Structures are given as structure tokens and as C-alpha cells.
Amino acid sequence: MATKSKDYNFLEIEPHWQSFWDKNHSFRAESSTTKPKYYVLDMFPYPSGSGLHIGHPEGYTATDIVARYKRAQGFNVLHPMGWDAFGLPAEQHAVKTGTHPSSNTQNNIVNIKRQIKALGFSYDWEREIDTTDPKYFRWTQWIFLQLFKKGLAYVDKRPVWWCPELRTVLANEEIVDGKSEVGGFPVERRNLRQWVLRITAYADRLLADLKDVDWPDSTKRMQEAWIGRSEGAEVQFDLEDKSHGPLKIFTTRPDTLYGCTYMVLAPEHPLVDPLTTPGQKSAIDAYRKKAAGKSDLERTDLAKDKSGVFTGAYAINPINGARVPIWVADYVLMGYGTGAIMAVPAHDDRDYEFAQHYSLPIVQVIAASEAETKLPYTGDGKLVHSGPYTGLDWPEAKKRITADLATKGAAKATVNFKLRDWLFSRQRYWGEPFPIVWLNAADYARAIAKRTGDVPATPVTFTSEGVTHYALPLPPSALPLELPDVQSYLPSGNGESPLANETSWLEIWFNVDTGAAVPASNPCPAGDVWVRGRRETNTMPQWAGSCWYYLRFTDPKNSQAFASQEALKYWGVPDLYIGGAEHAVLHLLYARFWHKVLFDLGEVPQSEPFTKLFHQGMILGEDGEKMSKSSGKGVTPDAVIASHGTDTLRLYLMFLGPLEAQKPWNPQGIEGVHRFLQKIWRECLDVEGAVNPKVSDDPSVDSTELIKLLHETIKKVGENIETLRFNTAISQMMIFSNAVQKAPAVSRATMLTFLQVLAPFAPHIAEELWERLGGAGSILRAPWPKYDASKLVNDSVKLVFQVNGKHRGDQLVPINLPQDEALALARGNAKVMPHLEGKTLKRVIYVPGRILNIVVE
RNA sequence: GCCCGGGUGGCGGAAUGGUAUACGCAACAGACUUAAAAUCUGUGCUCCGUAAGGAAGUGUGGGUUCGAGUCCCACCCCGGGCACCA
């Protein structure tokens, strides 16, 4: 039932149709159907306290248009929404107020959900998910256990930001200018026990499979760069003092070995201490201390001012026996390669700078091109000063030198990745608890006797103060492991999360069969299945929940599995995924990793999670600057909905420019699309709200031009939705509505068809006018109109006459006019004639129906 | 420094190698109105010209082509990302 609104009262119309869709479950994805599926997904939001930003509805409108279009085309569409609700702000709020982060999170969800619903998106709310819901994170924990079982999770000490004043670990974003964001206290790097996921085991496949996905090239390249594969060789240099064994380095340029004039160790390299001669010890110690105190940021800032200290030790170059001094410098990182390099100052910018600074020798071994004779030379060339290899092209020399050294056992070809294993734990409260209990060696041995099949081949252990602890997973039947209530959300103060203070939850008698627990302060229950354990106090990072949520949407209420095999088989992975480019690397890489693990386990049928990806561009402030919270320039969707309606907002966001472009927000532009909708309203209805008398039941009132334009519009809008070019789709609809306005009459059928084309963009006004013009049922159920190609052809067309490529005139001519006739017309054209006078015709280019170019001397 | 984008009227932008500036905003003029708003009609979007018309023109310089905003080379500027990765 439509409203009785006389004029375009969007404040009445929009809520009316939203509740109509709600009541009719209009957007429910069907679970048993023979229809083809289409799965279109938004990157789900973090429910922040400040609510929806204008950037959110941009991407959401784009996916909603696609979803509505695909439904009209007969697809069974899955278009879900949920909440990525673990996260730092809720935890900080809890620390400040002492209330449980869950209550704050739920309040935020209520607010942001209200905002999203007011936009009229066609989400299937019955599939809503929340990553903080134990029914959801039960499966996040379950997936972690699969990684654990496969040996892809381990525990290690890793450096994190530590604030001695606040006695807490800080995230990168909690540090501003090298100080804590809260209080401005100094911070330092500190090694803490962390869970790490072995994403590097998938580096090759994460790289190779990028070729199979339809993603923006820039995003693929960013992932490639992040994975950072490089081929080279690990080369062994003997040390002059053989008691410390050989020194291994990684190089991508073994062909430049003859140019190695010194070596560099990272300050953290284990050989630094043993190698340093007594005379250099104090200088080295001072340098290491300084380097250790530096943040990565400071090390980066000093990029242009290389520093280092000589250890006093020498190595022997395996290729020519040369004696090479060994230095320590912080431009070499312990985390990449072997933490040691051979320096070739003639052919590496950093080595050159360092050698210049410390007056180390520079030996050129690659002949520079004639154009570029300055050192350092990093280009291609043939080898010089390189013994038997002199004269070889460098790629050939690289192979030969590596192979020759390999026969002596002094080198092996290797591949290195920049990608590091993923630090997967946080010393926080508000995250998924790890379903892990730490046991002593004897209890672990007893436990795994009963628990074959869900522990890794090599136990995950951690040694502290001489005692080794063994990680035993909870049995899957004991999931979810929920967060206990805590007295305080403040961290423990010793580097552990607030969970470390909850002794009765932490220190337990643990039933290795069932996962049941009893506080350790109680007597140990009877039976041989009970062992003394301590729970893991770390929680998972926010990424965990977002790594697999797209799978849960296919079967969100399943309590037997993260999703049923039938659901996974039918829905598969999203056909279209839209979200911000800020997630180009981390979220997308982590999700791909988890997906591939699940694929290897046979849990999902495809090897890649997101076949087609698109990034919406950022909406900038009116001044073209970023809209930031601090600048107070944020435009809220709520305000625009109140003043112009959501149909206008949706249309405007799409009309601003190409979806992927960064676009400034211009409030005056909103009026333009709002007028467009009002115009459509007036063409359909008169001032009393009755059908406009110019709308006729007689189809013959439509001019040929109007019919042609209608079919052009159907074609163009459909094509533009497919290619996500919504701005030009809207232009086309404006052209059509302008034509209708100028026409003395329009047929009801034409108007209804136009409303169908408009419906994905402005669904509320389309439903309203559809019903008031007598359209059958909801416009959602009307099949997408097909254009008639025969209506698009013209009998005559404007042919452009050019002389020497310059537009000189044009004329309406029959389509497929032969060239000689076209040429005759052009020669007779009053505007073209003067440009031909006295000239010799050299050539004629004729593109029928388009252009006739006369080339004259 | 490297890697990605991008530079078109006053503004947002459009343009399979084929009429540059569609569509919209803003501006100006006119109609309607007592008036305003709304709506409608029209105008131009640089320069010369009263006009008809002509010339120039898509960051700069060159090139390919009958024809270049579009392809190639070099450069300038703006935005974003990454960064001592051996």
C-alpha cells in the first residue's frame, strides 16, 4: 500500500517502504532454490561510538544497487551485514568507565544499525552477525585450533611497544610522536611472549594466486610488494677466527661478490659479541645500546645518515679469498635474510653511502652503461674485475657464481620473503580468548595420550625461568571459551592482559577430555583426566573475526559447524566485495591466508576468498581535505536523510563521480539530484497526488525518440551497474527524465519501465510511484526490463565532415551512406567548401555513420 | 627515494583513437508571481567579431596517426601508499 502523500514527502515515504520491506522479508536470501546465486558483500564496519561516517554509505549504496539489480535479474542474492565489534576503542572506554566493553559495543551497534537501516539498504538482517557474540567467536576459536593443529601457530618472544609509566603494551596507533597517546609518556620496545601464525608458509601461494582474482592492479601490486619475494643466494663467508663457524649472508646479487669490500651485521646479530675484538668492544657495546634504544621509526628517520662501528674482525670472501672487514650497522635488519650482508658499495646505494662515510674501498665489478657512469651503479651490465667471470652478463654470472660456490658448499640459491609471520596475540581483554591451557611436560604427555588428532605433531611450548610449558588446546566441544568478568579492565601491569588477574579463571584443574575447569583453589576433582593448568591470558587481534566472516554469512546460525558444506557449496565466496583501500594489504592478506588453510583442510571448496574486489574512493571535505573527526568537518548521513531523504543521499553519493575516485563533498550538488527526483514525482503525479493526466494508457503517445531513449537508458544503466559506473548511469536517467518532461504525453508502460531502472538507485520513491501508477506488486518483484536492440538503430545519423582532421561541418545522412555519396555531400556543404578551395585532394577517410575526413594538400 | 593514482570550463565530472566539455552545480537573462520561493525557457562557459563566423584549447615539451584528452617518450605539479628488505 502506497502512502497518500500529495507531494514528494520523503520523510513519510521512506520509512513507509522500509517497514514494508521488513514485514515482507523482501531481502531474505533463500536457502533452498534452483535460482543462481549472487553474493555481494561490504566490508563490515566497526561499530564506533561516533556512528556512521559519510564514507560508509558510499560503498554500501554501491553494493545495494548491485544487489537490487541482481535480484531483479532473477538471482538469489545474499547481501548481509554485521559488526566487526572487538576493538581498541571499546576497551579504552571500558578502562575509563569501568563498564563491560560489551555493553558499550551493544549500544554502538544499536545506533549504527539504526543509521544503516534508515538508508534503506537491502540487507538480509536475519543473517546479521557480531564477532563478539560467543556463538560467532566459538568458530573463530575453532579455526584457530585448526591452525594450531596444523603447526601454523607457535609462541615466541616478540618486541612490542611498552610504556613503563602506564605499565601496558601499546598498539602503534596509541603512540603519537614516540610518546604514549594517553599521558604522553615515553615508550620502549620490549620482548613479550606472543602467539605467532606461520603465514610465511603460504607466502608463495599468496603471491602466485593473485593472478586468479579480479582485483584492482594497485591492490595486487601492494600485496606483491608486501610479500616481497626475492631470489638470490645464501653465501657462507669463513671467519678469520674459525672458532665461531662461518658467517651466512643473503644477497640478491651474488654476481657482485668480487665487489664486496666489507660486511655488515645487524646490531642484534648473535655473532656480534663473539667477533668483536677487545679493542672495539666498548665502541660496539655503545653502538648496540644506542640502536636498541631506537625505535624502528628513529632507525628509519636516520635513513640518510648511515652509522656503524668496526668489530675488529675479518671474514674471507669465498670467491677470491679476499680479507673483508666486518662492521656492525643498524641499516641491516635482523628480521630479514640472515641479518648479515656483504656490502658492495659500487652497486648499492646504501653500501655506497656507508663506504663514503667511513672511507671504505669501493670496487666496481659491473660495467656501467655509457649514459650512467656515476657510482653507485645499480643497472644492468657485464662483469669487470671479476676473475674468470669477467665479461659475463650479470644474470648469467649470478647463476654461475652461485652454482660454482654451491659445489664447494659455500652457497645455495634461496628465495627470501619480506613477509613475516603474523603476530597474532594482544595483551588485552576485549578479544577472543585463546582456547589454550598451559600444562607441564608430564601432564601434557598424559593429556595427548587421550587427545590424539587435535594437537600439533611438534608441541607448542614456551620456556620461562627454566620451566617449559606445553600448550594444550581445549577440545572443540568445549568451545566457545568465553571471557570471564573481571574486576578491572586495566592490564595486569607485568605485560599480561587483565585476564591474568582473574585467578579463579586462570589457575585451574582442567579436564583434558571435556575441557571442563575447576578453580585450582578447589581440591582436584577425582579421576585421572584432571590436570593442573594455567589458561592463556592473551586474546586474539581484531583481524581474527574479520578473517572469515564472509563464510559465516552463508549459514550464520549453524551451531554444528562454522557453516554447512551445502551452504558453502551453494553460496561459495562473495562475487563482489567492496570496501576501502586502507584494507588493501592486511585484512585481505590475512583473510586469504585463513581461507587457504581452510581450503587445504577441505573445509571450503575454493582457494581464494574474494574473486572480485573493488575499493570505493574516500569522500573528502568541501575543501578537498580529509574529513577528520578532529577537524569537525564530518557530514553525517542522518542530517542529509532528514533534509533531503535517503534516496537523494544515495543518488548524490553515486553521482559525485566514479566510485573509486576521491571526491569532495559539495552540499549544493545534493539539490541537483533532489530536483531530479522531484521532477520524476511531478511527471508521474499531479499536485493533488493523482496520476498526472499526461501519463496515458495508450502506448502510441510515446514518440519514436522517447522509445529509443528509453531503450538506450535500459541498456546503459544495466551496463553501468555491471561495471560499477553509477555516475554515468544517473546522468543517463536524468537525460531520460528531461525528455519525458519535454514530451506532451508519456505512456504508463514507459514510465513504469523507467521506474524499474531507477529502483536500484532510489528504491523508496520508485516503489511509491510504481504502486501509484498501477504497477503490479512490489517493484522488487518486477523482472529487470530488457532493451530491444532494434529500437536503438537509427535510419539516419549525423555525419561529421572533417578537413585535415578538423571539424568543419556536419549533416544528417542515411546510415550506411556509400563513401562517394558522403564525399559529394561534404563537397557541397557550405561550411566545408571554403576549406577545400584551391586544394588538392590527397586522401579520404570514411567511418560510416561517424566521420568523413578529407585530407588535402 | 620507490610504487600506485591523477591533472579536462568558475566547480563535481563525461568522452570504444573519430563532433572535447554529456549530466549536474554555480552564474546571467527571460517567463510565471503583487512579491519571493519553486518551476519553466534560454545564454555563455577562453580570444577576435555587433553578428554570421573564425582562432586557440584537455599540466608542459616532443612524437606516432588522416585524426590524440585517449597511444609512445621526457618533464612539471597534486594526492595516496611504502620505505635502510641486502
Q: Residue A795 has what pLDDT?
A: 76
Backbone angles phi, psi at A262, to 5 degrees: -160, 170
Asked if A626 CB < 7 A from strand B, the reply is yes
CA–C1' span, A645 to B32, in Å?
29
Distance A212 CA to B24 C1' (A): 39
A114 touches strand B (CB under 7 A): no
Q: What is the pLDDT of residue A629?
A: 47
Omega of the bond prior to A848 within 30 degrees of 0, cis?
no
* Inter-residue contact A721 to A741 (CB < 8 Å): no
Supply A100's cell numbers.
563491560
Q: Which of A156-170, A337-351, A617-631, A841-855 has the highest mean pLDDT?
A: A337-351
For A42-55, give the DSSP string: EPPPP--TT---TH
* Residue tagged 548481509 (cell numbers): A80
Say yes or no: Cβ of A221 under 7 A from any atom of strand B: yes
The pLDDT of A790-812, averaged and rounded, is: 81
- Find which nucleotide's C1' atom is closest to A725's CA: B14
Closest C-alpha among A582, A646, A666 to residue A617: A582
Is the Cβ atom of A742 within 7 Å of strand B at any atom? yes
- The DSSP string of A796-808 is EEEEEEEETTEEE
Is the C-beta of residue A629 closer than 7 Å to nucleic acid chain B?
A: no
- Region A725-742 average pLDDT: 94
Measure the CA–CA gap between A14 and A3, rounded to whole angstroms.
10
pLDDT of residue A222: 84
Straight-line distance from CA A684 to C1' B28, in Å? Answer: 32
pLDDT tens-digit series, residues A158-179? 878 888 877 778 777 677 766 7
Half-sphere exposure of A74 (CA within 13 A, CB side): 7
For residue A470, the surrounding DSSP H or E stretch is strand A467-473
What's the ipTM? 0.92
What does the pLDDT read at residue A623? Answer: 64
- What's the CA–C1' distance between A676 and B32, in Å? 21
Which is more confident, A680 or A374?
A680
Q: What is the rounded distance in angstroms from the CA atom of residue A12 to the CA atom of residue A789?
A: 39
Least trusted range by pLDDT, from A85-99, A122-136, A367-381, A740-754: A367-381
Does residue A691 reach within 7 angstroms of strand B, measured from its CB? no
> Which of A 557-586 have CB under 7 A of nucleic chain B?
581
Residue with cell 663473539: A274
Identify the residue whose Cα has the smallest distance to the C1' of B23: A731
Answer for A652: CB within 7 Å of strand B. no
Return the top range by mean pLDDT from A545-554, A614-623, A627-636.
A545-554
The answer to whether the C-beta of A675 is closer than 7 A to strand B is yes
CB A737 within 8 A of CB A85: no
pLDDT (mean) for A792-796 = 78
Tens digits of residue pLDDT in A10-33:
999 999 999 999 999 999 998 878
What are the residues whose beta carbons fall under 8 Å from the beta carbon of A789, sequence distance 6 or more? Answer: none
Tell me the β-bridge partners of A806: A803
Q: What's the 3-state SS for A268-323?
A: CCCCHHHHCCHHHHHHHHHHHHHHHHCCHHHHHHHHHCCCEEEEEEEEECCCCCCE
What SS3 state is found at A533?
Answer: strand
Helices (H), A166-243: 203-208, 217-227
Lookup: cell for A268: 642484534
Asked whether strand B has any atom less than 7 Å from the CB of A13, the reply is no
Our measurement of CA A683 to C1' B23, in angstroms, reads: 19
Nearest-angstrom CA–CA distance, A784 and A77:
14
CA distance A29 to A541: 31
CA→C1' distance for A806 and B20 (Å): 12
Q: Is the CB of A738 under 7 A from strand B?
A: yes
Query: Is cis: bond before A658, omega within 30 of 0?
Result: no
| Alpha-carbon gap, residue A100 to A84, rounded angstroms | 17
- Distance, CA of A523 to C1' of B83, in Å: 57
State chain A's mean pLDDT as an integer.
89
Q: What is the DSSP string of A593-650?
A: HHHHHHHHTTSSS-S-S-SBEE-PPPEEPTTSSB--TTTT-PPPHHHHHHHH-HHHHH
Provide, in whole angstroms, the distance separating residue A346's CA from nucleotide B61's C1'. 35
Whether A383 and A365 have beta carbons less than 8 Å apart is answered as yes
**Mean pLDDT over residues A616-638, rounded?**
67
| Cβ-based neighbours of A274, under 8 Å, separated by 6 or more | A244
For strand B, is any atom closer than 7 Å to the CB of A844? no
pTM above 0.90, yes or no: yes
pLDDT for the residue numbered A190 = 79
Give me the pLDDT at residue A630, please. Answer: 42
Minimum-distance nucleotide, CA of A662 to C1': B79
| Cβ contact A343:A262 at 8 Å | yes
DSSP assignment string, A636-658 = PHHHHHHHH-HHHHHHHHHHSS-
**Cis bond leading into A376, ω under 30°?**
yes
Give pLDDT tens digits for A510-542: 999 999 999 999 999 998 899 999 999 999 988
* Ranges A76-90, A92-106, A492-506, A799-813: which has the least confidence: A799-813
Residue with the larger pLDDT of the pair A464 and A435: A435
Q: How far is CA A40 from the centre of its chain?
A: 16
Confirm whether any atom of chain B, the nucleic acid strand, is less than 7 Å from CB of A509: no
The whole-number pLDDT of residue A174 equals 73
Q: For A240, how many CA atoms within 13 A lie in the half-sphere containing its CB?
A: 13
Strand B at less than 7 A from CB of A230: yes
Q: Which nucleotides of B are covered by protein (CB under 7 A)?
A: 3-5, 11-16, 18-20, 22-26, 38-41, 53-54, 66-68, 79-86
- Look at residue A631 in the predicted model and tell me its pLDDT: 42
- Contact assessment for residue A598 and residue A608, using Cβ atoms and an 8 Å cutoff: no
Q: How far apart are CA A352 and CA A359, in angstroms?
A: 10
Residue A169: CB atoms within 10 Å: 21
Among A381-385, A609-613, A753-757, the range scoring the smallest mean pLDDT is A381-385
Does residue A289 reach within 7 angstroms of strand B, measured from its CB? Answer: no
Per-residue confidence band for A112, with pLDDT thresholds at 50, 70 and 90? very high
At A613, list the grid cell. Answer: 574486489
| pLDDT greater at residue A413 or residue A624 | A413
**pLDDT tens digits, one per residue of A717-729:** 999 999 999 999 9
**Listed residue (A759, A749, A705, A695) closest to A729, CA to CA:** A759
Q: How many residues does chain A have?
A: 857
Residue A421 scores a pLDDT above 70:
yes
Confidence band, pLDDT 50/70/90 cuts, at residue A301: low
A798 CB contact with strand B at below 7 Å: yes
Q: What is the pLDDT of residues A217-269, one digit of tens each?
A: 888 888 888 888 888 999 999 999 888 889 999 999 999 999 999 999 998 89
Residue A839 confidence (pLDDT)? 77
Q: What percent of chain A has pLDDT over 90?
A: 61
